[in-house]
């Protein structure tokens, strides 16, 4: 069972907006930044969002992140077929000596 909670699946038609939630606690999302990763089938994960809402160079602005309290969200606007992938949220957790925690992942399907 993952420390961060994500819905197992989400879907939308091309052009739609899809939102993925990520729920945590005061020891992680509530006090630390959230990062989001995209994993296309058979490939390594790719950093999509860091520091809650910042995009690394090369990531389209269709992807956006936000955070409120102990929850975070990833939004994909103008959904495209190539966005079909698994998406993971992650954060540092301050408990014990500190470590990175991941969500269980959300499979996004483009209908």
Where along the sequence are the contacts to another protein (CB under 8 A)? 2, 33, 35, 37, 39, 43-47, 50-51, 56, 86, 88, 90-92, 96-105
Give 44 or 82: the residue with its C-beta nearer to another protein.
Answer: 44
Give 11 or 99: the residue with its C-beta nearer to another protein.
Answer: 99
Give 48 or 79: the residue with its C-beta nearer to another protein.
Answer: 48
Q: Residue holding tokens 């992938």?
A: 85
Instruction: Enumerate the β-bridge partners of residue 87.
Output: 38, 106
- What is the closest distance, in whole angstroms, from the C-beta atom of residue 99 to another protein in the complex? 5
- What is the closest distance, in whole angstroms, from the C-beta atom of residue 23 to another protein in the complex? 15
Strand extents, DSSP E, the chain: 9-12, 18-23, 34-39, 46-49, 63-68, 71-76, 85-93, 99-102, 106-110
Which of 70, 40, 26 lies closest to 52 in space, CA to CA? 70
- What is the closest distance, in whole angstroms, from the C-beta atom of residue 44 to another protein in the complex? 4
Give 11 or 51: the residue with its C-beta nearer to another protein.
Answer: 51
Virtual torsion, Cα 13, 50, 47, 71, nearest 10 deg: -50
- What is the closest distance, in whole angstroms, from the C-beta atom of residue 69 to another protein in the complex? 20
């Amino acid at each position: 069972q993952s420390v961060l909670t994500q819905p197992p699946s989400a879907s939308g038609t091309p052009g739609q907006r899809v939102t993925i939630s990520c729920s945590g606690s005061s020891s992680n999302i509530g006090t630390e930044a959230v990062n989001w990763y995209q994993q296309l089938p058979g490939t390594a994960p790719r950093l999509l969002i860091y520091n809650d809402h910042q995009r690394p160079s090369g990531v389209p602005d269709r992807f956006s992140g936000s955070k409120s309290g102990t929850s975070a969200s990833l939004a994909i606007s103008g959904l495209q077929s190539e966005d079909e992938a698994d998406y993971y949220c992650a954060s540092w957790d301050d408990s014990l000596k500190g470590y990175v925690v991941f969500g269980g992942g959300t499979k996004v399907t483009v209908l």
